[in-house]
Structures are given as C-alpha cells and as structure tokens.
Chains A and B, each alone.
Chain A
Amino acid sequence: MTANSLLKVQGLKTFFYTEEGIVRAVDEVNFHLNPGETLGIVGESGCGKSVTALSILRLIPQPPGKIVSGQLIFKEENLLSLPMERMREIRGKDISMIFQEPMTSLNPVFTVGKQISEAIQLHEGVGGRDALERAVEMLHLVGIHSPKKRIYDYPHQLSGGMRQRVMIAMALSCSPNILIADEPTTALDVTIQAQILRLISDLQRKVGMAVILITHNLGIVAQNARRVAVMYMGKFVEEADVQSLFGDPLHPYTQGLLKSLPNFYKDSVKKDRLEEISGVVGSLLNPPSGCYFFPRCRYTHDICRQKEPPLHEARSGHEVRCWLVQEGVRF
C-alpha cells in the first residue's frame, strides 16, 4: 500500500438480501489504485467484479443490495460516509464508468450530443452552448469522424463500436481521476475491441487517469493492466503485478484458468487436450466451508475444507488466498 494511492478500498462487503438467503457478492475486498495505473479485475460471471465496481460508485440497488461495511477512501474522503448529494458530484466528474452494453446504457430518446453535454453542464457549470462545443471536442478525441454532425445523432443511428466511443467520450468529458471500465469491449468484435482498448490507453496517457478494467478475458488484462486481481465467489484470491501473475500464478484457480486457455502463439496447432478445472462455480447462497475453491481444487488438503485461507503475501506485492502456498507447498 503506497501512501499516495488514489483510491483505497478496505474491507468492502456488499451483500444482497434475497428471498433465498444472503448472497455475499463482495466479501472483504481490499485493494488500492495508484494514480495513472490500470488495475485489472478478472473473474467469471457472478464472481462479484461488477458489484465491486458499482459499490465504488454506490450504485448498488438497495434493496435488495447493501454495502454492509468497508471504507472507500478517495482523496481522503470515505465515499461510503458521504451524503448522496456529494456522491452525485463525484460520479461522472472524479470517478466515471463505462458499461458493457453501450446500447442500453445510452438513452435512446436523446441525441448523443445532448447526453454528453448534460454531464458537462452539470459538473462544470457551463452553459448549454459551451457544453455542446465540449461534446464535439470529446467526440473528436475518441476518434469519431465529423463530430459536429454526429452530436445530432441518436444512439440507434450508431454502430456498437461508435456507441462505445460515445460512452467513453461521456465518461471522460469531465476529466475524471478514475475510469471504471466494466467489460468495455465484450459486446464488440475483435477488430473493434482492439480499437477501443487502444483508445482507452491512449486517452489514459493523455489525461493521466487511473483505470479499473473489469473483464472475464485474461488476454485483455494481460495486455492492458499493470496489476491484476483475480476474483472468485466474491473474494480476491490472488493479486499481483501482471508479469508475476501470468508468469508465475500461485493460486490453483488462476493456474487452472491460464492452463485451460488455448493460446495460438504458445502452442502449435491441434494439440493435446486442454487442462480443465473440474466442476462448476459454487453457489453463493450456500458456499462451501473453508476455502471456496476447494471443491474444484486438485490439491485439496484437510485444512482447506475446515478453514478459510486469508490473503497472504507470498512475495513482495504478490498476494494469494491459499493454505498450501502459505505453508510453502509448491505445485
């Protein structure tokens, strides 16, 4: 933990109170984000990565959800204890977010220019005309041709890649310190995905913001993040810098994920069976005792069933939640 981190998340717990029981969607998550860096959060569907993101902006629908405890220290303020009014000032200005589905996250009945300038007017206190001019600049910045015309377009007139560019323009219009990108390219084709990822990293360098990149795609994280956290059933199971996570993964889940991925650069074509992680992700309504991953783990020991492992710093800057690593067993 460096002293100058931009955002510190400590002991974050977000639960959902459903008819079937309590779902501990995010359970004791700790991390920090330094200025200008990219933190990748990876995991499979339902692991809590999006809920973590929404919790940071306090956008959890309540009920059924609730941020039960924790601290979100942003610029010496705890976001969780701020009044909603102050929170609204922070959203979109200091911390903004782009979502997976650019069609549903834009309002279909307003032009994109109107939608982008609305945020600018609100946060920067400028007039409508100035805000619209800024919107044109933003569209130009995200690489949309003839932005002066495009601001009068409605979302349905744009393609998926263009819509995501509009979302990015909107998110960056007030020069935020943090951009949370939740599966920003999942709905897009690979060639467009490459364009959007390049755009985000170019803009990041230009304006110096930090990015939290949330995705299920390990390839995207490997090529875009500086540090990576792997989530499994609401918890961080491993966190490290990108080189060390991909070069020497310690958690059996991370190892399994990486081995199960076909990679056309590493292997020759048409080769042996892929390694599998057996079973399926457990239910958060009825999680296993001990380590949440043990039912699928190939190295299970007695202690794994009985007690939940803590996050343990195996090497400098490389944390892992596994009893075996903690006890020095190598596998």
Chain B
Amino acid sequence: MSEVLLKVEGLKKYFPVPGKIFSSQKENVRAVDGVSFEIQKGETLSLVGESGCGKTTAGKTILRLIEPTSGNVWLRNVNLATIKEKELRRMRKEMQIVFQDPYSSLNPRMTVDRIIGEALSIHGLAGKKDREEKVVEVLEMVGLGAEHLYRYPHEFSGGQRQRIGIARALAVNPELIVADEPISSLDVSIQAQIINLLEDLQKRLKLTYLFISHDLNVVAHISDHVAVMYLGRIVEMAPAQLLYQDPRHPYTQALLSSVPVADPTLKRQEIILEGEVPSPINPPPGCHFHPRCSYRKADCSNLEPPLREVSPGHYATCFL
C-alpha cells in the first residue's frame, strides 16, 4: 500500500562566503547540512523551523532549483541530484513548487492564461487548441473560473493569487508539490480557505506535499509527518501526532511551548529559550543546540548526537 515517492539522503548545501582578501581559508554557510527523510505517496511531510534554519533551501535543493553540494534525492527511482539538465527538465513536470509570496511569484505582465498555460506548452501537454480548455480546468480546480483567464495578477486579491500559484503548479499534473510557506503572507480569514484547498486537492489528485512552514498550528493540521530543523539539520522527526504529543528534543519542546494559542484558559509551562540562533557559518561544536539548551551536559558540547529512533517512527538527535 505505502510507497515511497521522495527519498532524500544526506542532502547538503553549502554556500561559500567570500573570505578575507588573500586568505586561502574558505568558509561556508551550511544552510542544509546532511538532511535525510522520506515521504510516502499521497502524504504530507512538513519541514518546520525558524528563519534561517535551512527549510526553504532544503526545499529548493530537493527540486534542484539550487544545485546541491552533495547527497541524493530520489523521486521514485530517479536521482534528481545527479541527472543531466535535459532529463531534469523533463522531470520538472513531476515536481512543482508553490511560493510564499503570491505578489512577487507571478509575472505582473502576463495574464493568468499565460502564467498557467506556459508550462503546459513547454512540457507539450497541450496544443494551441486545447490549451485554454486545460487552463480553465485547473482554474476550476482551485476555485477560480474561465472569467479570470485574461486578467493580470494585480487584479486579484492575495488569496486569489495564491490560488493562481497553486493552479500553475497543478497544471502539469505533478506528483510532488513543495509548498514553501504558502499561507504565511495571507490574512487569517483567507488562510483557512487555502489550507482546505490544498487538502481537497491532495485527496482528489493523490498529491504528495513537502510543506515548509514556521506555523506550528497549521503544520499540526496538515501533516502526516513533521521534521523539525535547526541550523541546517533535522533535530526531530516523527508522525505528526507523536511529535506534538510527545516532543523529545528540547528545541522542539521549546518551540511548541512558545507558539501562541488562541485560548486564554490554556495553562502551560512556557519554555523561554535563551539567546538566539547562532550563525550557520560557524555553528557550535557538538550538538548545535547546546548553547541554548537548559538540559545540556558536558558531552553535548563535544559530541554530535546522532539521529536516534526513540520510539517506533520517532527520531531525535539528542543524548537525553
């Protein structure tokens, strides 16, 4: 029954930092530093973490919108990380991305018809005659219609633009969609509309989502599995229910406890972390999290904790 659609192995992406003049020493921003996970077909895995933790870079590197430094990305039996440019382009119709900002991710000079139809033509999925028909079909899937075909992005509201962004991704009939903060620039009353749309589409089209977000309330709602990232690494990964009910990594615990919840009667122990996320150029030795961790022991600053299975299906990188 279950079938792995995407398998990421040891994915790394380092960005070189321009060093001092005449210095031979090269420094790197380790944006993604050895990330591995799998997603079953038709499921949603969420990558969560704070800004700069590498979640967006991971998403883009998986789609090879950014070249990986090392690692493998298997989409079924194709290794996206190593295939040639030409083959990669063919694979693009299997994997699409929905961006955070529906204002800057749509070309303001194109009508909706072209924004969505272009991909169909490029991949030879529609000819001149049936292109419009197909565009209308995907527009209807996202709750828009034929009357929107010849309008420009500025004529739409934020929520509608995000629907166009989703329609553009769906047009080529992909299996995998990377949704990078797809609702964080939308108003509260519109967010639920887009979340429901994404879920309906998933059921209908058997889509597989890699959902990238910092909003832990939304992630709880939408995910089958959740992976928490900190400084380029996954620190905890588990089925969503398990992660929320029994977080094992001190970072996940702190993260969950600091999410504001719309319930004034809720009494909980807030764990306020000290300090801030250190620089990914020179991450702390040992466990990256140890300088902010209230449970740290001597080992934590020397040894790197491996990703360990703490209970079936539940992984955490912590010695405790």
Contacts and interface: CB of A to CB of B under 8 A. Distances in A.
Contacts of B193: 276-278
A161 B214 contact: no
B265 interface: yes
B272 A194 contact: yes
Given A159-B276, A246-B264, A274-B196, A193 B258 contact: yes
Q: How large is the interface on A (under 10, 10 to 19, 20 to 34, 35 or more residues)?
A: 35 or more
Contact of B221 (A190, A218, A219, A274): A274
Contacts, number: 141
A217 B272 contact: no
Interface string B209-222: 00000101110111
B270 A194 contact: yes
Given A189-B50, A189-B51, A270-B240, A265 B266 contact: yes
A269 interface: yes
Given A222-B264, A274-B196, A260 B259 contact: no
Contacts of B190: 280
A193 B221 CA distance: 22
A73 interface: no
A269 B263 contact: no
Q: How large is the interface on B (under 10, 10 to 19, 20 to 34, 35 or more residues)?
A: 35 or more
B310 interface: no
Contacts of A193: 258, 260
A262 B50 CA distance: 19
A264 B216 contact: yes
B91 interface: no
Interface in B247-277: 254-266, 270, 272-273, 276-277
B303 interface: no
Central interface residue in A242, A247, A260, by most chain B CB within 10 Å:
A260
B276 A192 contact: yes
B244 interface: yes
A206 B272 CA distance: 19
A220 B258 CA distance: 10
A243 B264 CA distance: 6
A218 B215 CA distance: 13
Nearest to B292: A191
A218 B188 contact: yes
Contacts of A270: 221-224, 240-241
Contact of A269 (B240, B256, B261): B240
Interface string A220-256: 1111000000000000000000110011000000001
Interface string A281-297: 10000000000000010
Contact of A246 (B199, B217, B221, B263): B263
Interface string B269-294: 01011001100000000000000000
19 contacts: A194-B272, A195-B273, A218-B260, A219-B217, A221-B262, A223-B260, A223-B261, A247-B264, A257-B188, A262-B195, A262-B218, A263-B262, A264-B244, A267-B220, A269-B221, A273-B200, A274-B192, A277-B192, A280-B157
Interface of B: 50-51, 157, 159-160, 187-193, 195-196, 199-200, 214, 216-218, 220-224, 240-241, 244, 254-266, 270, 272-273, 276-277
